[in-house]
Amino acid sequence: MSDQQNDARRTARDHVITARGLTRRYDKTVVVDSIDFDIARGEVFGLLGPNGAGKTTTILMMLGLTEISSGEVSVLSFNPAREPLKVKRRVGYLPDSVGFYDQLTATENLAYTAKLMGLPRAERVRRIEAALVRVGLADVASRRVATFSRGMRQRLGLAEIIVKRAEIAILDEPTSGLDPQATQEFLGLIGELKSEGITVLLSSHMLDQVQRICDRVALFQAGRIVLMGAVPELAVKVLGAGFVVEVEAEGLGIARRLAMIPGVTQVETLAADRFRMTAERDVRPDAARAVVAVDGSLRRLSVDEPSLEAIYARYFQVQPTGDVRHAA
Amino acid sequence: MRREGSPFQGLSTVFVKELADHISSVRMLMLELLIVFTALAALYEAINSLRQNTAEDPFLLLRLFTIDQAPLPSFVAILGFLIPLMAIGLGFDAVNSEHNRRTLSRILAQPIYRDALLMGKFLAALATIGISLAALWLLVIGLGLIFLGVPPGGEEIARSLVFLVVAIFYAGVWLSLAMLLSIVFRSPATAALVSLGVWLFLSVLWPMLAPAIAQAVAPSDPRYALLGLNDPATAIWTQELLRLSPNDLFGEAMLAVLSPSTRTLGPVFLDQLHGAVMGAPLPFGESVMIAWPQTVGLVAGTIVLFASGYVLFQRQEVRA
Ligand SMILES: Nc1ncnc2c1ncn2[C@@H]1O[C@H](COP(=O)(O)OP(=O)(O)OP(=O)(O)O)[C@@H](O)[C@H]1O
Ligand SMILES: [Mg+2]
């Protein structure tokens, strides 16, 4: 019932990116193979998949930066192949391993792209200053980019998207090569974009991060989208269940009681007083109630959220790929 | 399929940025120093020799450009040699450096077409060369005024301005060649090496090879040799082959414009000399007409090379 409501709401919200049968061939090799997806406004959408699965190619097609062999994609209801300028005016792009002009300062680098965006001078100055403050580069605004660390460059790239006031931010492996602290900060910045209503599309290999910030993910394999949806949905589909709840409690017949909770698919008895339940939803309240009902004493109740890592590992283990392509 | 928007959107932005980059670059400074010092040496010799034969020449200023005093070649010949070096220096890493710095996809994700980027880079480099050549031109006029003490006439100024314009077209050929190679080769070093190779071939080897090839294609009749003359067939072949090199086109155009008595650039035929007073200067308009085909040749070369680069760049993948 709630699923149906969700679906209805989702179709009612407008889609900012729609791909139908999107395909890219290089000579004879199919790199992106007839993929379909819709991305709703304000959503954070993750592209996952092994190296060479076709994530970057898909992104480049959405920006009109590489040819579309067949199928179509519409971005903010424009066709990037025919109206690239309209698309690129509204979409911000942070390429993987982004580069800047090393001899120019952070501000000068942004000023150049802001000019290319067609912003008038006063507006440019104002937006650049604000963006640099926001990504935490205000102190080094007039330092040459040559002296910047990888994390700083990455944040400068994000500042460019902020200057553009993009409706959609496309980030290709934004956190690769960042240390945990920098990653954390960067994910925070992406979260801010989302809270402003900006649609974020990001590709990544770091599954736990993707899981933390993405509303939905698409799993690429050899140019196809093999799985798509919210992480809990995928967990049910691939792992058979999403949540693993561990209960530590004493009492008679607890295992039997736990097994009767709706949504629980399996109960393992790990020790006399420890049980592990696999469930489709977070059944902690029900488990607590069950323990109390048999007059047991509850010592610990923990839940493992469905992990994308597990889904990913399971998926590629169950369906071994014939050839894993390598990115050029 | 018509493209939306103007292909030149962002052109001026790219132009201004690239121009600023060139003008503030160490590379440009080095190239300028090289050219200015070599040119000064040539001018010094020219001024020395011109001061000895007193001011009878009505085109004293133009002689500054063309007179050669061994061992130094003339000012124009030096420029014919060095302008390509300057153009190659500014163009050999135009596109591949954007790839290697990984700035290309970021820039092309802004609302511009690739046309604007390529054209902006080309025009900025050409403008840089134009500015240097204009400065050099002023230097020549200034030195002429100071050391020869003759104010230049209107026609001399006009002819030397034509020199300036043709020199810029000449730079355009080499610049578009260098940029084409910067698109073809991902490594700037390779692009530089290949451009320099072409430059050395065309400016040093080709003038030696062309007569040999002409001799092979159209062997000269021994009867001409007996009379101590060149076989006109061989001479024509030699010249046509030489004209494949932009250096030769530039040299010929400069000869026509800066030496007003030049009546023809090919082997001389009798009917062309009909009614001519040997050594009398041609009017400005006629000199320009003589240099016209060469100039058009240079412009055409620029367009062909630039267009090939353009087509390749449009199809190139943006990712590194
Ligand atoms: N110019 C090209 N010619 C031929 N094949 C190419 C070209 N560019 C990319 N490919 C191929 O396309 C496939 C997909 O590449 P893509 O960069 O989209 O993968 P990806 O999912 O982004 O990988 P990664 O995670 O390594 O970034 C790879 O197999 C790659 O070899
Ligand atoms: Mg990629």
| CB pair distance less than 8 Å for B109 and A101 | no
In the prediction, which pLDDT does B239 show?
Answer: 85
The dihedral of CA A296, A302, A303, A307: what is its sign?
A: negative
User: Strand A216-221 to strand A44-48: parallel, antiparallel, or no bridges (unpaired)?
Assistant: parallel
Q: Residues B189-205: what's their mean pLDDT?
A: 95
Backbone phi and psi for residue A302, each to the nearest 5 degrees, phi listed first: -130, 155
The ligand minimizing its distance to the Cα of A54 is 1
- Chain B CB contacts of A65 under 8 Å are 105, 108-109, 318
Q: The domain A243-305: what is its CATH number?
A: 3.30.70.100
Of A35, A34, A37, A33, the residue nearest A16 (C-alpha) = A37
d(CA A134, CA A150): 18
Q: B102 to chain A, minimum CA–CA distance in Å? A: 5
pLDDT digits (tens, 9 = 90+) for A210-265: 888 999 999 998 999 998 998 878 877 777 666 788 888 888 888 888 888 888 88
CB atoms within 10 A of CB A172: 23
By CB atoms closer than 10 A (0-12, 13-18, 19+), residue A160 is: buried
In the prediction, which pLDDT does B265 show?
Answer: 67
Q: What is the pLDDT along chain A (328 residues), one digit of tens a residue?
A: 444 444 444 444 589 999 999 999 998 899 999 999 999 999 999 999 889 999 999 999 999 999 999 999 999 999 999 999 999 999 999 999 899 999 999 999 999 999 999 999 999 999 999 999 999 999 999 999 999 999 999 999 999 999 999 999 999 999 888 888 889 999 999 999 999 999 999 998 888 888 889 999 999 989 999 989 988 788 777 776 667 888 888 888 888 888 888 888 888 888 888 888 888 788 888 888 888 888 888 888 887 777 777 777 777 776 655 444 444 4
On whether the CB atoms of residues B71 and B186 are closer than 8 A, the answer is no
Read off the amino acid at residue A324.
V
Break chain B into its structural domains and give their ranges: 11-315
Q: Where in chain A is the domain with CATH 3.40.50.300?
A: 2-235
Percent of chain B clearing pLDDT 90 (strictly above)? 46
Backbone phi and psi for residue A203, each to the nearest 5 degrees, phi listed first: -110, 150
d(CA A90, CA A86): 7
Check if CATH label 3.40.50.300 holds for domain A2-235: yes
Closest Cβ opposite residue B108 in set A65, A82, A99: A65
pLDDT of B173 over the 90 cut: yes
d(CA B29, CA B135): 13
pLDDT digits (tens, 9 = 90+) for B7-55: 889 999 999 999 999 999 999 999 989 988 888 888 888 888 877 765 5
Does A65 contact B at CB distance below 8 Å? Answer: yes
Q: Residues B58-72: what's their mean pLDDT?
A: 77
Closest-CA residue of chain B to A118? B10
On whether the CB atoms of residues B26 and B249 are closer than 8 A, the answer is no
User: Taking the model in full, what pTM does it have?
Assistant: 0.87
Q: A54 alpha carbon to ligand 1 midpoint, in Å?
A: 6
- Chain A CB contacts of B121 under 8 Å are none
- Closest Cα to atom 25 of ligand 1: A51
Atom of ligand 1 nearest to the CA of A27: 4
- Ligand 1 pocket list (CB less than 6 A): A 26, 31, 49, 51-57, 325, 327-328; B 317
Backbone phi and psi for residue A229, each to the nearest 5 degrees, phi listed first: 150, -175
- Chain B CB contacts of A112 under 8 Å are 13, 17
| CB pair distance less than 8 Å for B105 and A65 | yes
- Chain A CB contacts of B113 under 8 Å are 84-85
In the prediction, which pLDDT does B11 show?
Answer: 95
Q: Which residues of B touch A (CB under 8 A)?
A: 1, 3-5, 9-10, 13-14, 17, 21, 101-103, 105-113, 317-320
Task: Calculate Rg over the CA atoms of chain A.
Answer: 23
Of A24, A36, A62, the residue nearest A166 (C-alpha) = A62
CB atoms within 10 A of CB A185: 18
- Closest Cα to atom 10 of ligand 1: A328
- Closest Cα to atom 8 of ligand 1: A328
In the prediction, which pLDDT does A241 show?
Answer: 65
Backbone phi and psi for residue A257, each to the nearest 5 degrees, phi listed first: -60, -45
d(CA B22, CA B91): 10
Q: Where in chain A is the domain with CATH 3.30.70.100?
A: 243-305
pLDDT digits (tens, 9 = 90+) for A286-322: 888 888 888 888 888 887 777 777 777 777 776 655 4
On whether the CB atoms of residues B178 and B191 are closer than 8 A, the answer is yes
| CB pair distance less than 8 Å for B103 and A65 | no
Q: B81 alpha carbon to ligand 1 midpoint, in Å?
A: 44
d(CA A81, CA B195): 34
Of B307, B15, B315, B288, the residue nearest B158 (C-alpha) = B288
Which residue of A77, A98, A116 is the best one to mutate when testing the B interface, meaning the one whose CB has the most B CBs within 10 A? A116
pLDDT digits (tens, 9 = 90+) for B107-154: 999 999 999 999 999 999 999 999 999 999 998 888 888 887 777 788
| CB pair distance less than 8 Å for A86 and B109 | no
